[in-house]
Amino acid sequence: MSSPILRVESLVKRFGGLLALGGVDLAVEAGEFRAIIGPNGAGKSTFFNALTGLLRPDSGRVTFEGRDITGEPPHRVARRGVARTFQITSVFPDLNALENVRIALLAHARRSWSLWPRAGALGVERAHELLALVGLAASAAKPAGTLAHGDQKRLELAIALAGEPRLLLLDEPTAGMAAQERLEAIRLVHRIARELGLSCVFTEHDMAVVFAVATRITVMHQGRVLAEGTPAEVRARPEVQQVYLGEAA
Amino acid sequence: MLELIAQHFAWAQNPVVLARQTLAGVSNGMLLFLISAGLSLIFGVLRILNFAHGALFMLGALIAVSVAALLPDPLAGFAAALVGAAAGLGLLGAAIETKLLRRIYRAPHEMQLLLTFALVFILGDAAKLIWGREEHFVAMPALLAGGAQAFGLVFPLYRLFLIAAGAAVAAGLWVMLYRTRWGIFIRAATMDREMLAALGVDTRALFTTVFTLGAALAGLGGALAAPVVAVGPGLHVQVLIDAFAVVVIGGLGSVLGAFVASLLVGLVNAFGVLAFPGLAVVLTFGCMAIVLIVRPRGLLGTAE
Amino acid sequence: MKSRHAAPLVAAAALLALPFGLTEFWIFIAVEVLAFALYAVSFNVLLGYGGMLSFGHAAFFGVGGYTAALVVKQSGLPPVLAVACLPLAAMFVSAAAALVIGFFSVRRAGIYFAMLTFAFQMLLYTIALKATPLTGGDDGLTGLKPPGPLAQPLAYYYFALAMTAAGLHVLHRVVSSPFGYTLRAIRANALRVQYLGINVRAHRLAAFVVSGAFAGLAGAIFALSNGNVFPEWLNWTASATPVVMAVLGGTASFLGPALGAAVYVVLEVLISGRTEYWPLAMGIIIVIIVLLMPEGLTGLWRTGIVRRGARAAPLPTREAR
């Protein structure tokens, strides 16, 4: 039993009187495709924010590849090999798609501190590769802000991959897409993750998407883990059905 | 070392000095409050840092000078000056907001900054053009000159008047903010602007009202300050510095914060001048910087 | 290829030949233009590229000016050494000030960042006013002359031209470098950049220091030509100047602010010559810019002419020249 790539122990986060995360435990094995589901307000985005250092947890521990990364700022967490996408697409709207990925590559290559050499053609080739990988080869020259919603999500993925992460955290990767698009999108992510040997944790509302690709599911409710297991196991649990699956998907 | 401290604070043992400086500090604080309340409200609601607010204060003082000169009776002149300054600046504020500021609410911050700076330059020179470059003086009405006796000490009446006036304005503002519909809108706008529009509030009218009110307060402050302050060119530059410090320390958008911080800054200045004569002014910026570094929202501001 | 080089060559030739057509007064003004061009471009590294609006940039211009004045008046160095030391000293001291001020200021964003730079500038203003033995207090430092052979206006012009050109070249390299791209990305989406593994605060601080250093150089160049330095250079109203120049020229291009500086200085000379109400005129000009031409002069130029062919520049909204 190999040690998990990501282990979260008793993660707690309060906002004033509100207990957003009430002691979350999670262990993700390498190569997993883990889905986190739960109603709105269950704390999924807060969880990602606390994992990646955007929020400082009040208590608890986060271990990535055996290293304690609790409370480390986002840029440190990213350097460790954790990449994240955002629920509300977060790209560089005025730059074209190629430039978006190039920035990420420059950052990953630690060139952001090069003050003298010209940026010139650094990373252009690799950026094209990544765009092709996510299916955006044709849109390389388009300003990111003008891309269709689904394409922006793909771009986010390419940006995330530029950092050569070993763990992908995807916050609602299919938000805002039509049903058919969603399955395509998640299957793309799944395929890429398998090809590159990445572990992946993603939050999702659409059950069809979840059951299509997830290897394990964690159910969150009111800041705590309600249930966890394989899709079949989770589907069968009555408390899960009551809280979440009972509601209209 | 202890001797050094003792040297700087030797005056603390003298009750006359203590009383005098406290009075000066509190009354100056009230004047500061009149400027900063408006500045803070304008930022809270309009999200614009009005660099020209010092100029509005100065114009209030200058209008008071002119109005007081028109009426032979000093008391009537003084009263008219207060009314004239407040009303005049209110009108000017309304004009500025509707004609200029309204066009840049959605502009990038450097544009907003530039526009208020432009007002500083324009109003500053306009004041020079109209009132000249000398310093102006307004005599206090006899009723308010002189001193009141208490506890064996003499307190300048005008300073007591300033404190009373400031307290009255503060009370009035409190009533407006907490007991009227506009007040609710203003407080809500300070916290969440977008929601206001969604609730169907006429934000345009609200913005104009707030800016007008802020300008009127500044004008009133200038008029009240005129008898005790040297009213000359450069006043608008000088006065803004303390006002900024106050709104930062009190919390951008909070009138109560501005009140507390005004008194604080007023007292710190009054006593700082005694303890560290040359460097009292450093205390103000030092406090401002420390607040921004440690707790940017100030004493009573809302967290961003 | 040739047409791309023609314009800069013509400009260089014009700048080199310029003093021969000018009276001494206008050579003096030309030096002022050069210094302020460097000042404005350095400010725009923060604003246009980094997205950081500083209310306290005049602090570094002033610090540079005072440093140059002190080197010339108090260092007792032989002229040649003084000339060599001047730019370095001014840049070093300004950079050090920027490092301290920036360290505290970049911890906050937006309005709080701006207010911090304002507060620190006012602290420096107070020091300039009060530290009379060092700074001459209220009177400032006067009677400054460039050391040795540079005291000749013509010679000083070429010195200023060389310093400004070198400064602009370095700044251009910086904004075209991977660091520069990172800065632009930070401006576009600082949150995302953090998740790329970049310490945004450290990069902002670096930009602040670079920008402050060259503002200091500009202040030094101007101080020696102007003959004196005053505490008013550090008062908060002075911080409007770099903003006006940058916006007037256009913040979307590297040299836009330099153009803005040239126009600003010339306007100031012409208007101050006729009236003492230059601030009033400046205020009106600012209002016109803000309401009618926020993209600045280079913005007007860009939208006014037909685009010639596809842009090779990779970043669509900036001239990557």
Query: Does residue B25 belong to any structural domain of this protein?
Result: yes
- Per-residue pLDDT of A46-96, as tens digits, reads 999 999 989 999 999 999 999 999 989 999 999 999 999 998 889 999 889
Q: Where are the beta strands (DSSP E) in chain A?
A: 6-15, 18-28, 33-37, 59-64, 67-68, 82-85, 167-170, 199-203, 216-221, 224-229
What sign does the CA torsion over C298, C299, C305, C306 have? Answer: positive
Three-class secondary structure of residue B288 per DSSP: helix
Beta strands A18-28; A199-203: pairing state: unpaired
Are C185 and A92 an interchain contact pair (Cβ–Cβ within 8 Å)? yes
DSSP string, B87-145: HHHHHHHHHHHHHTGGGGTTS-HHHHHHHHHHHHHHHHHHHHHHH-SS-B--PPPTTTS
Query: Does residue B148 belong to any structural domain of this protein?
Result: no
Query: Does residue B72 belong to any structural domain of this protein?
Result: yes
Residue B27: both structure tokens together: 């009354």
Chain C positions touching A118 (Cβ under 8 A) are 173, 176-177
Q: From chain B, which residues contact C within 8 Å (Cβ)?
A: 49, 100, 103-104, 107-111, 113-115, 117-122, 124-126, 128-129, 237, 240-241, 244-245, 248, 252, 278-279, 281-282, 285-286, 288-289, 292-293, 296
DSSP string, A147-163: S-HHHHHHHHHHHHHHT
Nearest CA in chain A to C173: A116
Closest CA to C150 of C82, C96, C48, C90: C82
Nearest CA in chain A to C199: A75
Three-class secondary structure of residue A68 per DSSP: strand
Closest CA to B123 of C287, C283, C288: C283
* A1-72+200-249 CATH: 3.40.50.300
Beta strands A18-28; A33-37: pairing state: unpaired
β-sheet bridge partners, residue A11 = A24
Residue ranges making up the domain that contains B210: 14-141+158-294
Residue C80 sits at the vertex; the CA angle it makes with C76 and C85, to the nearest 5 degrees, is 70
Annotate A35-68 with b (16+ C-beta within 10 A) or e (fewer). Answer: bbbbeeebbbbbbbbbbbbbbebeebebbbbeee
Closest CA to A80 of A62, A92, A98: A62
Report domain extents, chain C: 23-236
Q: Whose structure tokens read 């400064």? A: C167
Q: Phi and psi dihedrals of C52, rounded to 5?
A: -110, 120
Nearest CA in chain C to B296: C112
Average pLDDT, chain A: 89
Contacting C residues, span 119-158, partner chain B, CB-CB under 8 Å: 119-120, 122-123, 126, 130
Instruction: Give the span between the Cα atoms of A140 and A97, in whole angstroms.
Output: 5
Instruction: Give the span between the Cα atoms of B3 and A241, in whole angstroms.
Output: 76
Half-sphere exposure (CA, 13 Å, Cβ side) for B159?
18
Contact criterion met (CB below 8 Å) for B247 and B36:
yes
- Per-residue pLDDT of A94-109, as tens digits, reads 889 999 999 999 999 9
Q: Is the pLDDT of residue A249 over 50?
A: no
Which tops the pLDDT comparison, B145 or A138? A138
What's the confidence (pLDDT) of residue C131? 87
Are B237 and C286 an interchain contact pair (Cβ–Cβ within 8 Å)? no
Nearest CA in chain C to B117: C240
Contact criterion met (CB below 8 Å) for A100 and A92:
yes
- Per-residue pLDDT of A9-56, as tens digits, reads 999 999 888 888 988 999 999 999 999 998 877 788 899 999 998 999
Chain C positions touching B104 (Cβ under 8 A) are 290-291
β-sheet bridge partners, residue A7 = A27, A63
The answer to whether C55 faces chain B, any CB pair under 8 Å, is yes
The answer to whether C115 faces chain B, any CB pair under 8 Å, is yes
Q: Which of C52, C118, C241, C295 to mutate to test the interface with B (most CBs of B within 10 A)?
A: C118
Considering only the beta carbons, identify the residue of C184, C192, C199 that sits closest to A91. Answer: C192
Q: Is the pLDDT of residue C50 over 80?
A: yes
Touching chains, B (3+ CB pairs < 8 A)? C
Q: Is the pLDDT of residue C308 over 70?
A: no
β-sheet bridge partners, residue A26 = A8
The answer to whether C261 faces chain A, any CB pair under 8 Å, is no
Chain C positions touching B296 (Cβ under 8 A) are 108, 112
* Burial bucket for residue A145 (CB in 10 Å: 0-12, 13-18, 19+): middle
Half-sphere exposure (CA, 13 Å, Cβ side) for C1?
0
Considering only the beta carbons, identify the residue of B104, B121, B282 that sits closest to C283. Answer: B121
Contact criterion met (CB below 8 Å) for B235 and B245:
no
Digit-by-digit pLDDT tens for chain B (304 residues) are 777 777 777 777 777 888 888 888 999 999 999 999 999 999 999 999 999 999 999 999 999 999 988 888 888 888 999 999 999 999 999 999 999 999 999 899 999 989 999 999 999 999 999 999 888 888 777 777 777 777 767 788 888 899 999 999 999 999 999 999 889 889 888 887 777 878 788 888 999 999 999 999 999 999 999 998 888 888 998 899 999 999 999 998 899 999 999 999 999 888 888 877 777 778 888 889 999 999 888 888 876 5
CB pairs under 8 A between A and C: 105
What's the pTM? 0.91
Nearest CA in chain C to B291: C116
Nearest CA in chain B to C106: B293
Considering only the beta carbons, identify the residue of A79, A90, A116 that sits closest to C189. Answer: A90
CATH code, domain carrying B181: 1.10.3470
Nearest CA in chain B to C116: B289
Q: What Å distances lie between residue B49 and B44, B110, C187, C282, CA to CA?
A: 9, 11, 22, 20
Q: Is the pLDDT of residue A215 over 90?
A: yes
Chain A positions touching C191 (Cβ under 8 A) are 54, 90
Contact criterion met (CB below 8 Å) for A39 and A62:
no
Considering only the beta carbons, identify the residue of B107, B278, B285 that sits closest to C122. Answer: B285
Are B49 and C107 an interchain contact pair (Cβ–Cβ within 8 Å)? no
Chain A: closest CA distance from residue C283 (Å):
32
What's the confidence (pLDDT) of residue B8? 73
Considering only the beta carbons, identify the residue of C111, C240, C290 that sits closest to B49. Answer: C111
Q: Residue A91 contacts by C-beta under 8 Å, 6 or more apart in sequence?
A: A100, A144, A145, A152, A155, A156, A159, C189, C192
Instruction: Give the span between the Cα atoms of B138 and B131, in whole angstroms.
Output: 14
Average pLDDT for residues A191-213, to the nearest whole number?
A: 91
What secondary structure letter does DSSP report for B11? G
Encoded amino acid at C166, one letter: A
Instruction: Give the span between the Cα atoms of B131 and B129, in whole angstroms.
Output: 6
Number of Cβ atoms within 10 Å of the Cβ of A241: 13
Are C182 and A104 an interchain contact pair (Cβ–Cβ within 8 Å)? no
Contact criterion met (CB below 8 Å) for C106 and C204:
yes
Q: Phi and psi dihedrals of A72, rounded to 5?
A: -70, 145
Phi-psi group of A214: left, alpha or beta (phi > 0 → left; psi -120 to 50 → alpha; rest → beta): beta
What sign does the CA torsion over A208, A212, A214, A215 have? Answer: positive
Instruction: Give the span between the Cα atoms of C94 and C218, in whole angstroms.
Output: 10
Nearest CA in chain A to C192: A90
Chain C positions touching A75 (Cβ under 8 A) are 194-200
Chain C positions touching A99 (Cβ under 8 A) are 314-315
Q: Residue B49 contacts by C-beta under 8 Å, 6 or more apart in sequence?
A: B39, B43, B112, B113, B116, C111, C114
What's the confidence (pLDDT) of residue B303? 61
Number of Cβ atoms within 10 Å of the Cβ of A81: 18
Nearest CA in chain B to C132: B278
How many domains are there within chain B? Answer: 1
Instruction: Give the span between the Cα atoms of B95 and B89, in whole angstroms.
Output: 10
Considering only the beta carbons, identify the residue of A54, A92, A107 that sits closest to C198. Answer: A107
Chain C positions touching B293 (Cβ under 8 A) are 104, 107-108, 116
Query: Does residue B62 belong to any structural domain of this protein?
Result: yes
Contact criterion met (CB below 8 Å) for C94 and C67:
yes
- pLDDT-based confidence at residue C56 (cuts at 50, 70, 90): very high
Three-class secondary structure of residue C106 per DSSP: coil
* CA-based R_g, chain A, Å: 18
What's the confidence (pLDDT) of residue A42? 76
Residue B204 sits at the vertex; the CA angle it makes with B199 and B208, to the nearest 5 degrees, is 130
Residue A206: both structure tokens together: 């659409």
Instruction: Give the span between the Cα atoms of C27 and B21, in whole angstroms.
Output: 54
What's the confidence (pLDDT) of residue B192? 79
- Per-residue pLDDT of C223-280, as tens digits, reads 999 999 999 999 999 999 999 999 999 999 999 999 999 999 999 999 999 999 999 9
Contacting C residues, span 224-283, partner chain B, CB-CB under 8 Å: 235-237, 240, 243-244, 246-247, 251, 277, 279-280, 282-283
Closest CA to B227 of B126, B82, B120: B82
Chain C positions touching A122 (Cβ under 8 A) are 178
Closest CA to C279 of A22, B118, B84: B118
As a whole-number percent, the residues of chain A with pLDDT over 90 amount to 61
- pLDDT-based confidence at residue C39 (cuts at 50, 70, 90): very high
- pLDDT-based confidence at residue C310 (cuts at 50, 70, 90): very low
Instruction: Give the span between the Cα atoms of B130 and B139, in whole angstroms.
Output: 20
The answer to whether C145 faces chain A, any CB pair under 8 Å, is no
SS (H, E, C) C233-273: HHCHHHHHHHHHHHHHHCCCCCCHHHHHHHHHHHHHHHHHH
Percentages of chain B per state (helix, strand, coil), in multiples of 5: 75, 5, 20
Nearest CA in chain C to A140: C314
